[in-house]
A and B are shown apart, each in its own frame.
Chain A
Amino acid sequence: MTSPARSDLDRLLDAWASARRLPDAEAELIRQAIVPAVPTLSGTWWSDFNDKISTAIARATVTPGPALAALP
């Protein structure tokens, strides 16, 4: 059975523990200092990549103007 005085000590210890516990914001700073940021890929990176490749291929394969002019 818990006496009122004991409950009082428990409440006081709870308050003390809350004041002493590592705050979440401080814990997050510690975590961030340890774990380097892992870069994330944007959701459109694959279509952006494909667009760039397609453009490069189109530019590389287009027939130059002088060549077209030389055609009969």
Chain B
Amino acid sequence: MTPGRDDAAVFTRIFDEHRNAVHAYFLGRVAEPELARDLVQETFLRAWRRLSELAPLPADSQRAWIFTVARNLAIDSYRAGAARRAAEAALRSQAATQETSVAGPHRQAEARERLARLDTAIGRLPEEQRVILTMATAGELTSSQIGEALGEPAGTVRYRLSQARKQLAAALDLEDEP
């Protein structure tokens, strides 16, 4: 393939539209940030190589195409053993690096502590809940979009998201529903 400026522009648009969702998916699947980043790169490298096939598709189909690649890569990664090793432990052990906007060191420490507890709680979620939660939060996808990406009914996605939130609320001593 001899890429031109038009190809690069088309690819960049697709990349910018889906990169956060794909990264969120891998965060939920493999937890280890470096591995998630590598898998994002591999996913979009394949998208670039098959751009002539991907570009003409409508947006929803592009997402489905990209997530088919992403799911296969995640499976390959599991088979290689790299992801499984890191999955649960990494999320549990990572302290969040960015805190909410707060005033004063005491409140910053408190915010860090709460984020670290949330990180731990997310790491303890069942994988199917964790993936959906990360795609909904870090990936900013709707339940329908997550369903399309993962090949699951939107109702199943909403149920798992609700279950995940309940578990997080319980772990953080918060009430999820009135």
> A-side interface residues toward B, CB under 8 Å?
1, 3, 5-6, 8-9, 11-22, 26-27, 30-31, 33-36, 38, 40
Closest-CB distance, B132 to chain A (whole angstroms): 13
Residues of B within 8 A of A40 (CB): 5
Asked if A5 and B118 make an inter-chain contact with CB atoms under 8 angstroms apart, the answer reads: no
B119: A residues at CB distance < 8 A? 16
Which residue of the partner chain, among B48, B97, B98, B118, contacts A12 with CB atoms under 8 Å? B118
| Min CB–CB distance A30 → chain B (angstroms) | 5
Find out whether the CB atom of A35 lies under 8 angstroms from the CB atom of B100: no
> Are A16's CB and B44's CB within 8 A?
no
Q: How many residues of B contact A (CB 8 A)?
A: 44
Kindly identify which residue among B20, B98, B133, B174 contacts A22, using a CB–CB cutoff of 8 Å: B20
Stretch at the interface among B60-68, B143-151, B164-172: B164-172
B140: chain A residues within 8 A (beta carbon): 17
Instruction: State the Cβ distance, A14 to closest chain B Cβ, in Å.
Output: 7
Q: How far is the CA of A49 from the CA of B178 in the complex (A)?
A: 74
Binds A, one of B8-16, B71-79, B80-88: B8-16
Residues of chain B within 8 A of A27, CB atoms compared: 15-16, 19
Are B12 and A19 closer than 8 Å at their CB atoms? no
Taken residue by residue from 79 to 121, chain B's Cβ proximity to chain A (1 for < 8 Å, 0 otherwise) reads as: 0000000000000000011111000000000010011001100
Q: Please, which residue of chain B has its CB at the minimum distance from the CB of A31?
A: B15
Residue of B nearest to A37 (CB): B8
Task: Verify A8–B3 contact, CB threshold 8 A.
Answer: no
Evaluate contact between A6 and B177: CB separation under 8 angstroms.
yes
* Contact A9 B172, CB 8 Å, known A15-B99, A30-B37: yes
Residues on A with C-beta less than 8 A from B118 are 12-13, 16
- CB B135 to nearest CB in A, in angstroms, measures 10
Q: How far is the CA of A17 from the CA of B139 in the complex (A)?
A: 8
Alpha-carbon distance A8/B111, docked complex (angstroms): 12
User: B24 contacts A12, CB within 8 Å?
Assistant: no
Residue contact B48 to A34, C-beta cutoff 8 Å? yes
Distance in angstroms between the alpha carbons of A3 and B11 in the assembled complex: 42
Write out the residue numbers on chain A whose beta carbons fall within 8 Å of the beta carbon of B23: 21-22
Residues from chain B with a CB closer than 8 A to the CB of A1 are 178
10 contacts between A and B (CB under 8 A): A3-B175, A9-B168, A12-B118, A13-B118, A13-B133, A16-B96, A17-B24, A19-B96, A20-B138, A26-B37
